[in-house]
Amino acid sequence: MKTAAQKKPRQLRAQVTVDTILEAAIRIFEKEGLDAATTTRIAEVAGVSVGTLYHHFQDRNAIVNALQDREFDRALALMADVLSNDNLGRAPRETVEKVVRGLATLYIASPGLHRVLAIEGLRVASADRVHAFDLRVIAIVRTFLSASRAHLRCDDLEATSFTAYQSVRATMLACLLERPAGLSIETLVSQVVDLVVRYLVRDDA
């Protein structure tokens, strides 16, 4: 019978292999594009056999799904951290800027990956998975806004949470996909923060 001590190194090695494959896929997305990211090419860049790759991932779609799940987890962790009860004392604009800048940082760290996820991810992932992620983020926003109600313009927290979140995401994804000339990340962050603060926060707050 295997002990926990015996299992742990094997599980750790498997996770290292999975992470190596995912990072290899990201490097290809960033430098060579989606079309170049065949399972054979990903295995080559990862330094593993194709058989090892298929042991962990059924196909390229499974790799895209795993990358999307990882980015979902990172975004959720960011939102939960910034929009925690511990931060209720911050000025509203400071909180909004931390959210927007944090999301922008996730996007610009791997723009090629996020372009793939924005286009290919929607084809590969089930609508239920994407919708479940949206609902979790909106719930975090709604909970924080409920505790900050004294500052808000709007009374309908459900509509306000949905609109604020989707406005930020849609604007950032459009910038990522279209890459408009002359629009820096700093300018984008500043504009989005202004948009959200003016929508959410009363003038006297």
Structure tokens at 142: 């709604």
- In terms of pLDDT, which residue wins out, 6 or 49? 49
Domain count of the fold of the chain: 2
Residue 201's beta-bridge partner residues? 152
- In terms of pLDDT, which residue wins out, 22 or 203? 22
* Region 3-22 average pLDDT: 77
37 and 137 part of one domain: no
Domain coverage including residue 121: 65-200
Q: Which residues contact 139 (CB under 8 A, 6 or more apart)?
A: 161
141 and 115 part of one domain: yes
Of 37, 57, 77, the position where a domain reaches its end is 57
Structure tokens at 184: 């820096």
Residue 152's beta-bridge partner residues? 201
Q: What is the CATH number of the domain that holds 21?
A: 1.10.10.60
146 and 192 part of one domain: yes
pLDDT tens column, 79-116: 999 999 999 999 999 999 999 999 999 998 999 999 89
105 and 174 part of one domain: yes
Rounded to two decimals, the pTM is 0.86
Length of the chain equals 205
* Structural domain contains residue 23: yes
Question: What three-state secondary structure class fits 8?
Answer: helix
* Structural domain contains residue 205: no
Query: Residue 111 in contact with residue 176, Cβ under 8 Å?
Result: yes
* Structural domain contains residue 29: yes
100 and 5 part of one domain: no
Predicted local confidence at residue 128, as pLDDT: 84
Q: Is 156 left (phi over 0), alpha (psi -120 to 50) or beta?
A: beta
* Structural domain contains residue 134: yes
* Structural domain contains residue 14: yes
Query: Residue 92 in contact with residue 197, Cβ under 8 Å?
Result: yes
92 and 193 part of one domain: yes
Of 57, 75, 96, the position where a domain reaches its end is 57
- In terms of pLDDT, which residue wins out, 49 or 4? 49
Q: What is the CATH number of the domain that holds 151?
A: 1.10.357.10
pLDDT tens column, 179-196: 898 899 999 999 999 999
* Region 126-151 average pLDDT: 91
24 and 98 part of one domain: no
101 and 5 part of one domain: no
* Structural domain contains residue 138: yes
* Structural domain contains residue 179: yes
* Structural domain contains residue 2: yes
The phi and psi torsions of 83 (rounded to 5 degrees) equal -100, 45
Of 57, 82, 104, the position where a domain reaches its end is 57
- In terms of pLDDT, which residue wins out, 173 or 79? 79
